[in-house]
Amino acid sequence: MSTLIDFFAGSFGGAAGVLAGHPLDTVKVRLQTQHGPVPQYRGTFHCFKLIVQKEGFRGLYKGMSSPLLSLSAINAIVFGVHGGTCRKMEDPNSITSHFIGGAAAGMAQSVIAAPTERIKLLLQIQDGNTKTKFNGPIDATRQIIRTHGLKSLTRGFLATVARDAPAFGVYFASYEWMTRSMCKDGKTETLSSAQLLLAGGSAGMFSWLFNYPTDIVKSRFQADNSYKSYMHCIKSTYAERGYRAFFVGLNSALIRAFPSNAATFFTVEWTYRLLLDHNLLNNVTKEAEKICAESQLLPFDELTFSYMIL
């Protein structure tokens, strides 16, 4: 049943993280994808202010439906693969196991993350002056496929893997290290809500510190079809403002990372506790078994239940 618990917890955690962090993610994307030696936005707060002035607060939530729909599934994969990988390791509870499990999770979720983030980016960079207008994620998907082909949806996949594999490794390893450091009796279940929020938010910030330049390349490559290759993107980015171009918007990413990841881990941890403490998942499973028996379906198992909830 551990896989199902990981699935449920990751789903709720992903939704919480999107709701908490999307406005600053829009700011980060705008800063990352602006071109030229004289940028439109001078920094995080200037960008935030201009978006609100020109587009209203709704402008901060552009493209949110795409990650909101996908991140529940993505985080289900992330926490499921992480948990499953750790349990197969020789020492499942070691920090090294959590890093490897996180790296495996980052690679696995890239299959979904790459196309959904491409759609999200294209919606977020629309500032009212953009010639091509997308009315939403579905419209954007249709236009991209019609104009550039189905393969174009996976543009930036390798950069997504290069960003997320080490990032999620650091993410889970640092969270585990911090929670263990804060608990006195060795039981993370005794940590307070404030401690969980601190550990989750800090883990998110640490993960961004290690992968931000890669995220710059990924964002620019996905948002601009004129780049012929990753090397072309890297050289063009460097030509604009030197090495500093690879750290534009880092402060907004770090500011966003804390509430977003704090909400994700906090929700995941409390979902674990509720499911285990109140035996909720077993009750759902028994009810599903009863329905299957009454309907004369195949014998119920964990795989069957996974397909049912998907």
Domains contained in the chain, CATH given: 1-295 (1.50.40.10)
From the number of C-beta atoms within 10 Å of its C-beta (0-12, 13-18, 19+), residue 217 rates as: buried
Count of CA atoms in the C-beta half-sphere (13 A) of 194: 0
Q: Other C-beta atoms within 10 Å of 124: how many? A: 28
Q: What is residue 287's predicted lDDT score, i.e. its pLDDT?
A: 47
Sole residue written with tokens 């236009």? 143
pLDDT of residue 279: 60
Residue 216 has which token pair?
A: 């710059």
User: How much is the pLDDT for 233?
Assistant: 95
- Report residue 188 as tokens: 């993370």
User: Do 208 and 257 touch, CB atoms closer than 8 A?
Assistant: yes
Q: By 3-state DSSP, what share of the chain in percent is helix, strand and coil, each rounded to 5?
A: 80, 0, 20
> Closest by alpha carbon to 17, among 70, 90, 58, 62?
70
Is the distance from CB of 284 to CB of 8 less than 8 angstroms? no
pLDDT of 228 reads: 93
DSSP 3-state assignment of 37?
coil
Dihedral-angle region of residue 186 (phi above 0 means left; psi in -120 to 50 means alpha; beta otherwise): left
Nearest to residue 175, comparing CAs of 165, 185, 183, 164? 183
DSSP 300: P
Q: How far apart are CA 130 and CA 127, in angstroms?
A: 6
- As given in the structure block, the two tokens for residue 171 are 């993410």
Residue type present at position 280: L
Contact 12, 79 (CB under 8 A): no
299 is written with which tokens? 């014998």
pLDDT score at 156: 95
pLDDT at 56: 85
CA–CA separation, 235 vs 101, rounded Å? 33
Q: Cβ(228)–Cβ(164) under 8 Å?
A: no
pLDDT in tens, the chain (310 residues): 455 666 666 666 666 766 777 788 888 888 888 876 777 788 888 888 888 888 888 888 777 776 666 666 777 788 889 988 998 999 999 999 999 999 999 999 999 889 988 998 888 888 765 555 788 888 989 999 999 999 999 999 999 999 999 999 999 999 999 998 888 776 777 788 888 889 888 998 999 888 899 999 999 999 889 999 999 999 999 998 899 999 988 888 888 888 887 887 788 777 777 766 656 555 544 544 454 455 444 454 444 444 344 4
Residue 114: per-residue pLDDT: 92
Alpha helices in 125-249 (DSSP H): 137-148, 157-182, 193-223, 230-241
CA atoms of 154 and 209, how far apart (whole Å): 25
Burial string for 165-183 (b: 16+ CB within 10 Å, else e) reads bbbbbbbbbbbbbbbeebe
Q: Is 129 exposed, middle or buried (0-12, 13-18, 19+ CB in 10 A)?
A: exposed
Angle between helices 95-124 and 65-88 (to 10 degrees): 170
Residue 281 confidence (pLDDT): 53
